[in-house]
Amino acid sequence: MSETSRLPNAFRLVVTGGGTGGHTYPALTAIRTLQARLAADGRTLDVLWIGTPDGLEARVAPAEGIRFETVATGKIRRSANPLKMVSPANVRDMARVPLGVIQARKLVSDFRPDVVLATGGYVAVPAGLAARMCKRPLVLHEQTVRLGLANRKLAGSAARIAVSSESTLPLLPEPVRPAAVVTGNPVRPEVLSGHPDKAVAALGLHAFDRRLPTVYVTGGAQGSQQINDVVGEVLPWLLERANVVHQCGPAHHDVLSARAAELPAGLVSRYHLTPFVGPELPDVLALADLVISRSGAGTLAELTALGKPAVFIPLASAAGNEQAHNARHLEESGAAVALLGDVTGGHLRKAVGPLLDDPARRDAMAYAARGHGRPDAADRLVDVLLSAASG
């Protein structure tokens, strides 16, 4: 008898976590995968998502038909100076945590979940503590190489700790290592099913020279001033060697459009500037021979699952400097190039040039990237959830 078939007809799951896509989308992918797994056995899934009113999860969960509740939370504003951690804002927010725990405890007690999944973000702390109080199994999922602050606080209460990388295991506190299992970071299935020709049709890239490699530049949904500036410094040089799809963010589009209008006629046809890439993202990724981007956990999961060579320019202000750790982790195995610190156009040119000039070098980096990819991460995480629920 399979683990799934031993569970009650209606499986009850509490999900907590969010604030950003890095915490939200892995949870959503796990929910969809678990729902499909249960449906194959004629079972249903009942989900309660505990989040914040202003985080991404507040939009995503209701749009997916998932019951959504909020609790009081406290955000820690981190600083290298310990004295600055004791700021009025931190003290005020931390005072809200006990109220959030009380609210979360009532939600968890009333819902009576089979298991609680926490994917990080400060909202996960009260709900994770409530799971322990209500004696419900807690599964943590960590997207980055090092445990985030919320997961560090909850690790001792977890029945299972699902991590995205083997290199996380020795970084865990020794007492919680037996609870750890490597699942990878769930990737939306649609990301893995793109087709290059669909990107050409959807974005009107018919003037691209398909004999040249294609570079996809992205700073995330809002764009990145740093990446836009660095790419702008070398744009003519880059377009002499490649086609470029540049997702720049809505706030930056007008300025960059004016810059693009000054490009030589022979180069401008190889440059596609767009404020946002939406449903066509899987096809753009399929078309790309090289990606220049930030190094958030979700981006790494997608690019390694696809086996895409990448040059990362980490967000320096990311919590715990996690993007730099992510980028260095892949660079050490030859799966990417990490540009850290004060990055200039010259640094980018030095990193990108050899990859554009040498297809074999790109192939080697793609092979190394695939070695880190776990396209089955959602199924692995569902296995962990079902195992924890069944004791």
What is the location of CATH 3.40.50.2000 in the chain? 4-186+375-389, 189-372
Share of the chain above pLDDT 70, in %: 91
pLDDT beyond 70 at 280 = yes
**In the prediction, which pLDDT does 8 show?**
57
Tell me the CATH number of domain 4-186+375-389, given options 3.40.50.300, 1.20.58.340, 3.30.420.40, 3.40.50.2000: 3.40.50.2000
What is the distance between the alpha carbons of residues 327 and 310, in angstroms, rounded to a whole number? 10
What pLDDT, on a 0 to 100 scale, did the predictor assign at position 319? 60
391: closest CA among 84, 135, 37?
135
Q: Does residue 81 carry a pLDDT above 60?
A: no
What is the model's pLDDT at position 265? 87
Could you identify the residue written with the tokens 């691209």?
A: 208
What is the CATH topology of the domain spanning 189-372?
Rossmann fold (3.40.50)
Q: Which neighbouring-strand residues pair with 48?
A: 14, 67
pLDDT of residue 222: 86
pLDDT tens digits for range 251-266: 999 999 999 999 998 9
Sign of the alpha-carbon torsion through 66, 59, 100, 178: positive
Report pLDDT digits (tens) over 221-259.
Answer: 888 999 999 999 999 999 999 999 999 999 999 999 999
* CB count in 10 Å sphere of residue 361: 14
pLDDT score of 320: 64
Given a contact cutoff of 8 angstroms between Cβ atoms, the answer to whether 217 and 229 are in contact is no
pLDDT score for 365: 98
User: Would you list the DSSP string of 157-225?
Assistant: G-SEEEES-GGGGGGS-GGGGGGEEE------GGGGG--HHHHHHHHT-TTS-TTS-EEEEE--TT--H
CA dihedral 165, 168, 169, 170 (to 10 degrees): 140
pLDDT in tens, 158-211: 999 999 999 899 999 999 999 999 999 999 999 999 999 999 999 999 999 999
Map tokens 């690790």 to a residue: 155
Residue 218: strand pairing partners:
247
CA distance 217 to 194: 17
Predicted pLDDT at 89: 56
Report whether pLDDT(33) > 80: yes
Among the listed residues 186, 181, 157, the one whose alpha carbon sits nearest the alpha carbon of residue 36: 186
Whether the CB-CB separation of 361 and 354 falls below 8 Å is answered with yes
Q: What is the mean pLDDT of the chain?
A: 92
Contact 376, 184 (CB under 8 A): yes
The pTM of this model reads 0.87
